[in-house]
């Protein structure tokens, strides 16, 4: 996906809430994905973006397009769910994870980690590099899940556009890694390809945080910059899922400007690091 869009949103007329609801209901009934509790502003913008990208004039036309061309739904899902990410996004978070959290888990056998919205894989490679440099990768068992099969395929391929390299390199430097990021990839034309060996303890899984229920227990859950796309009610529901999926004293890390404080289920967690939004389960 392009990181930058020059599409102007003013060329699409305002999408009404009625039309958004109609679309959400249609998708729920036909594709079994529930967007009814996605935060409105970004969801509206994502839908407007799909209309523009595929030159579709309104929501009704989009719905008939989805009826007639099943493959359009894959495109739709890819655009609706936000997949913009970076390796070591917010480097101070990754330093905190390496310096404060991983040492507390290092004795666990295995260390069980769930990346709950792995997107195109940047977070997984960041995590794998971190664990490898900390000398605990061999003990780690990582589950990487995402709502979207397509981005999982991209994560597995570990192939990224060369234009994203600069920001990833800079983030890795700010993370103060032991190596050079280039020790973990090879370039190939306009792309760079991450070392597949980093995935040897990773299993991928298609999983929808909205519809899914717990499938295992973990020592650490990463879910960074995903809850921002949900309403407070849905955030609370997902937080319950995370609580059920953590061992006691297990860690939950969300994005640097996300908070669980507005959720009722927040009482089941304590704050481990306020600055980096790392929490710890303290009750069932």
Partner 1 sequence: MNDLEQNRNTGIVSGYRAVVIGGSAGSFQVVTRILSSLPVNFNLPVILCLHRLKHVRQGFVEALNLKSNLKVVEPDDKEIIRNGLAYLAPANYHLYVELGNYFALSTEEMVKFSRPSIDLTLDSASYFYKEKMIAILLSGANSDGADGMKMAKKRGALTLVQSPQEASIKTMPEAAISATTIDHILKTDDLVELLIKLNGVNLRN
Residues that bind partner 1 (CB under 8 A): 1-6, 8-10, 14, 39-42, 45-46, 82, 84-85, 89-92, 170-171, 174, 225, 227-229, 232, 235, 255-259, 261-262
Instruction: Name which of 1 and 67 has its Cβ closer to partner 1.
Output: 1
**Number of Cβ within a 10 Å radius of residue 209:** 19
Compute the least distance from the CB of residue 220 to partner 1, in Å: 21
Distance CA 117, CA 146 (A): 5
Q: Which residue, 46 or 268, has its beta carbon nearer to partner 1?
A: 46
The DSSP secondary-structure symbol of 215 reads -
Which residue number, 98 or 112, has a Cβ lying nearer to partner 1?
98
Closer by beta carbon to partner 1, 191 or else 259: 259
Query: Taking the chain, what is the end-to-end CA distance rounded to the nearest angstrom?
Result: 40
- Min separation Cβ 277 and partner 1, Å: 9
Helix/strand/coil for 191: strand
Q: How far is the CB of 201 from partner 1 (least distance, A)?
A: 27
Least Å distance, CB 98 to partner 1, is 18
Smallest distance from the beta carbon of 257 to partner 1, in angstroms?
5
Closer CB to partner 1, residue 20 or residue 199? 20
Tell how strand 140-146 and strand 111-115 pair up.
parallel
Q: Which of 83, 201 has the CB closer to partner 1?
A: 83
Measured from the CB atom, is 49 or 139 closer to partner 1?
A: 49
Q: Are 165 and 171 in contact (CB under 8 A)?
A: no
Please provide the size of the chain in residues.
284
Alpha helices in 81-164 (DSSP H): 91-96, 102-105, 122-133, 149-157
Given a contact cutoff of 8 angstroms between Cβ atoms, the answer to whether 166 and 87 are in contact is: no
Q: How far is the CB of 177 from partner 1 (least distance, A)?
A: 16
Q: Exposed, middle or buried: residue 213 (CB in 10 Å: 0-12, 13-18, 19+)?
A: exposed
How far apart are the C-alpha atoms of 134 and 167, rounded to whole Å? 23
Q: Rounded CA gap, 79 and 73, in Å?
A: 10
Distance of closest approach, residue 203 Cβ to partner 1, in angstroms: 25
Instruction: Provide the β-strand partners of residue 251.
Output: 220, 280
């Amino acid at each position: 996906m392009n990181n930058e869009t020059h599409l102007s949103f003013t060329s699409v007329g305002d999408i009404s809430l009625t039309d958004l609801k109609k679309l959400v209901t249609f998708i729920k009934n036909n594709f079994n994905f529930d967007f009814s509790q996605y935060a409105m502003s970004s969801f509206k913008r994502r839908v407007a973006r799909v209309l523009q990208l595929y030159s579709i004039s309104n929501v009704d036309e989009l719905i008939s397009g989805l009826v007639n061309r099943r493959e359009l739904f894959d495109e739709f899902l890819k655009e609706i769910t936000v997949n913009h990410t970076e390796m070591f996004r917010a480097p101070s978070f990754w330093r905190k994870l390496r310096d404060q959290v991983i040492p507390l888990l290092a004795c666990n056998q295995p260390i069980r980690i769930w990346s709950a919205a792995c997107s195109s894989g940047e977070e997984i490679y960041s995590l794998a590099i971190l664990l490898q440099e900390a000398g605990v990768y061999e003990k780690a068992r990582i589950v990487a899940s995402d709502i979207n099969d397509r981005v999982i395929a991209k994560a597995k391929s570990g192939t990224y556009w060369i234009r994203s390299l600069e920001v990833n390199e800079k983030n890795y430097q700010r993370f103060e890694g032991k190596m050079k990021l280039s020790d973990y990839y090879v370039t190939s034309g306009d792309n760079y390809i991450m070392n597949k060996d980093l995935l040897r303890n990773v299993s991928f899984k298609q999983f929808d945080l909205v519809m899914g229920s717990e499938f295992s227990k973990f020592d650490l859950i990463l879910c960074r910059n995903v809850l921002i796309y949900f309403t407070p009610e849905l955030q609370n529901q997902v937080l319950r899922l995370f609580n059920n999926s953590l061992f006691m004293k297990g860690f939950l890390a969300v994005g640097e400007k996300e908070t669980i404080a507005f959720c009722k289920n927040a009482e089941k967690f304590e704050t481990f690091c306020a600055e980096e939004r790392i929490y710890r389960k303290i009750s069932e």
